[in-house]
Amino acid sequence: MAVTPQSQQSVLAVLKPEFQKRNFGLFKSLKEYEICSVAGKCICYDTPTFKRVIARDVAGIKQYLEWGLDLRRHTLWNHNGHITEENVFTVGWHFGSVVTLCDAVVLGGYSDKAMRFVDIVGSNMVASLSKVSMFEAFRRLNAGALKRLIEAGLPLTIGEDINNTVLHVALDNRDASAVLELILPLTPELYNETNTDNETVLGRAIPLPSMDALRPLIKVDGISPSSNGRRLSPLYIAASTPRDRITHVFVTNITLIDPTESRQQEEYSRLQARLQRSTGSSDTSHPRQRLLTALHAFHRYKERNLAETKRWRDWYKKIPKKQRSIVESTVKYTRKLNTVEHLFETNERLAHEIVKHGMQFYNISQTELDQFVKENEKQGINTDKTSVSQAMKHFVRDWADEGHDERQDAFPCILGSLANMSRTFEHPLRVLLPGAGLGRLAHEVNALGGFEVTMNEWSMYMNLAYRYLSSLSSVNSKTFHPHIDWWSHHATTADLQRSVSFPDTLASPSVLLVEGDFTTAFAEDTGKYDVIVTLFFIDTARNLVSYFENIHRLLRPGGQWINLGPLLYGSAPFLQLSLDEIVALTEHIGFKFQETDPSCGGITIPGLTVRGKEVAYARNGKGLSKNAYQAQFWVARKN
């Protein structure tokens, strides 16, 4: 009998008064709840896994801690002694509060299937436990909670305590009675889960003991908190019923593994392999060379921009002194220059944070970067100030409130097309977004649910900025001045100098970034994707045909290609096609263009199902200019 949403609500209704009594709520500060690894080093604050758990179920995590349960970081080994998963977390469960955690947190907070549950000691542990008397004793004490564990696919771990075979549990004696009182209304019947042939059968219902009968069975031998403050050493619960063959009952080592963590780790390993190069290699197209070039440019953010400010000062000095006096008395132009210089220094802190995080993420040593900078500057190679500026401005376009209107121009038609696709959380559709920039569209697709989202980006400037953004754990925690390097089209100096905070929402770890050239990075993924979304992308190609053929190759038969963007061809394209030529070519390659929603613009060419709509791009919301395109929208199906 599966636990239904209705029964979950019943459980929550019973638990709600207890939550209120214990003042369960949001974290005020992570430091109030120190959670440490078994080695004693506090690692949870900086780990993406823990941050995600907090972000998804803050109240549930606080509940873990209020009950005295501990989170531990482990390496998961298989039976052959090889590492299968790293940095997984285990939770010590109280045999009574299992019902609380399983229903209120696991089946509630994690029911979106983003978590899966792994038995760290073998897949058949529950079946084998059903054949031993200690399993019967445990089931008798907490039948309903155990049933929920089994239904949720959670394993029970068998261990030894001196000469006793035990099940592990963590219990805070302050909560023992309260836990039992919570359990009793939720466990009215006892079920015999599994027979010796592994067939599920319904056993006869056996009333649980009364509260008075249960209390003598619970004996807390002691509490000895560790030096870490919140970790509790195991507490022993004696089961004195004569028919029991055990002396202690515990439950522990229920391991939660986020499948997105595994996907991220696999791609990170591939990325590190791609970054390796032969000693002395200086190929400018090599990923490591491009990475170091971008790090160098962010590293010199202030110097390059202050040099520009000096140029503006020098130009200002060329006007006659009398005219400068008038300017100074009315608009204080020198003070404006001084202020902007100061704001460049403020922005430099953000640029240096991007460099610092990038070096950590990509495993670039300070020595390597310093040597690269020294050699390049010795050769007189200038850094790319424009690429740094554009990457930082994308914090505004993609991840700030100020970019909301621009996103609303571009995203709805794409998201609407995806939202109408049939999908399930158990079997998500795979979506690829090449040329994703800082990836806000990818995260909006992910937020729809039922999609496994992969984004791709070539620019190391964008990738450095995105890796930094993904590390942020607080909304609007970073502020900078994005418009001070371009003085045209401003209504007021205050608009020019204004600050912008980001991110307006946190990046999701479920979205995977694959770095590199779209035409080569997915060489082994033929037919893998259900949908490919190209936003302001196809006109970046040197060879449009390669883009179109690669999109077709990566889609499964019947897969969909969604496009929105202009036809603004970049530097040295091999061919430059008009819209009608693009439609003819892609139909020949194997696409059939679909009907689309009229709200996505008018038909651009009669007889074709391609629509045009005005979409702003990289526009200053308070500026006096308007940068927009008649972007072309289509949905095409792979034959």
Q: What's the whole-model pTM score?
A: 0.64
Q: Is 106 helix (H, G, I), strand (E, B) or coil?
A: helix
Within 10 angstroms of residue 12's Cβ, the number of other Cβ atoms is 14
- Considering the domain architecture, whether residues 266 and 251 belong to the same structural domain is answered as no
Phi, psi angles (nearest 5°) of residue 440 = -65, -40
Determine the pLDDT at residue 225: 25
Between these two residues, 500 and 223, which has the higher pLDDT value? 500
Buried b (16+ CB within 10 A) or exposed e, 115-136: beebbbeeeeebeebbeeebbb
Torsion sign, CA atoms 193, 195, 197, 199: negative
**Of 257, 290, 325, which residue is a domain's last?**
257
Is residue 162 scored above 70 in pLDDT? no
Determine the pLDDT at residue 283: 82
Is residue 307 scored above 70 in pLDDT? yes
- Considering the domain architecture, whether residues 159 and 268 belong to the same structural domain is answered as no
Strand positions, DSSP E, 212-353:
251-257
Q: What average pLDDT does the segment 191-210 reach?
A: 31
Torsion sign, CA atoms 93, 97, 102, 104: negative
**Of 211, 226, 257, which residue is a domain's last?**
257
User: What is the C-alpha to C-alpha distance for residues 169 and 163, in angstroms, rounded to an integer?
Assistant: 17
Lowest-confidence region among 75-79, 315-319, 431-435: 75-79
Is residue 154 scored above 80 in pLDDT? no
Torsion sign, CA atoms 82, 84, 90, 94: negative
Q: In which region does residue 415 sit, left (phi positive, over 0), alpha (psi from -120 to 50) or beta (all else)?
A: alpha
End-to-end distance of the chain based on CA atoms, in angstroms?
44
Within 10 angstroms of residue 161's Cβ, the number of other Cβ atoms is 14
pLDDT above 70 as % of the chain: 58
Contact between residue 415 and residue 489 where contact means Cβ atoms under 8 Å apart: no
Half-sphere exposure of 203 (CA within 13 A, CB side): 16
- Considering the domain architecture, whether residues 145 and 273 belong to the same structural domain is answered as no
Determine the pLDDT at residue 98: 27
User: What is the C-alpha to C-alpha distance for residues 13 and 172, in angstroms, rounded to an integer?
Assistant: 23
Range of the domain at 415: 262-638
**Of 239, 257, 275, which residue is a domain's last?**
257
- Considering the domain architecture, whether residues 118 and 33 belong to the same structural domain is answered as yes
Contact between residue 231 and residue 36 where contact means Cβ atoms under 8 Å apart: yes
Between these two residues, 329 and 277, which has the higher pLDDT value? 329
- Considering the domain architecture, whether residues 542 and 415 belong to the same structural domain is answered as yes
Helices and strands (H and E) in the chain: how many: 23, 17
Between these two residues, 71 and 637, which has the higher pLDDT value? 637
Between these two residues, 372 and 45, which has the higher pLDDT value? 372
- Considering the domain architecture, whether residues 217 and 338 belong to the same structural domain is answered as no
User: What is the C-alpha to C-alpha distance for residues 476 and 608, in angstroms, rounded to an integer?
Assistant: 43
Between these two residues, 99 and 216, which has the higher pLDDT value? 216
Contacts of 587 (CB under 8 A, 6+ apart): 593
Residue type, 528: K
- Considering the domain architecture, whether residues 410 and 342 belong to the same structural domain is answered as yes
Is residue 489 scored above 90 in pLDDT? yes
- Considering the domain architecture, whether residues 357 and 506 belong to the same structural domain is answered as yes
- Considering the domain architecture, whether residues 446 and 387 belong to the same structural domain is answered as yes
- Considering the domain architecture, whether residues 320 and 243 belong to the same structural domain is answered as no
Strand positions, DSSP E, 201-334:
251-257
Within 10 angstroms of residue 165's Cβ, the number of other Cβ atoms is 15
Length of the chain: 639
User: Hey, what long-range contacts does 44-48 have (CB within 8 A, 24 or more apart)?
Assistant: 44/71, 44/73, 47/73, 47/87, 48/261, 48/264, 48/509
- Considering the domain architecture, whether residues 569 and 602 belong to the same structural domain is answered as yes
Q: What average pLDDT does the segment 242-260 reach?
A: 33
Contact between residue 525 and residue 556 where contact means Cβ atoms under 8 Å apart: no
Determine the pLDDT at residue 386: 97
Contact between residue 476 and residue 499 where contact means Cβ atoms under 8 Å apart: no
Lowest-confidence region among 46-50, 216-220, 536-540: 216-220
The two structure tokens encoding residue 542: 């040197």
Q: Please give the helix or strand (H or E) that residue 556 lies within, else none.
A: strand 555-565
Determine the pLDDT at residue 148: 40
- Considering the domain architecture, whether residues 103 and 56 belong to the same structural domain is answered as yes
Within 10 angstroms of residue 342's Cβ, the number of other Cβ atoms is 12
* Total domains present in the chain: 2
- Band (pLDDT 50/70/90 cuts) for residue 399 is very high
Q: Token pair 């979950």 is at which residue?
A: 8
Lowest-confidence region among 263-272, 484-493, 548-557, 579-588: 263-272
Between these two residues, 52 and 30, which has the higher pLDDT value? 52
Is residue 437 scored above 70 in pLDDT? yes
Write the CATH number for 296.
3.40.50.150
Contact between residue 92 and residue 65 where contact means Cβ atoms under 8 Å apart: no
- Band (pLDDT 50/70/90 cuts) for residue 259 is low
Largest CA distance in the chain: 105
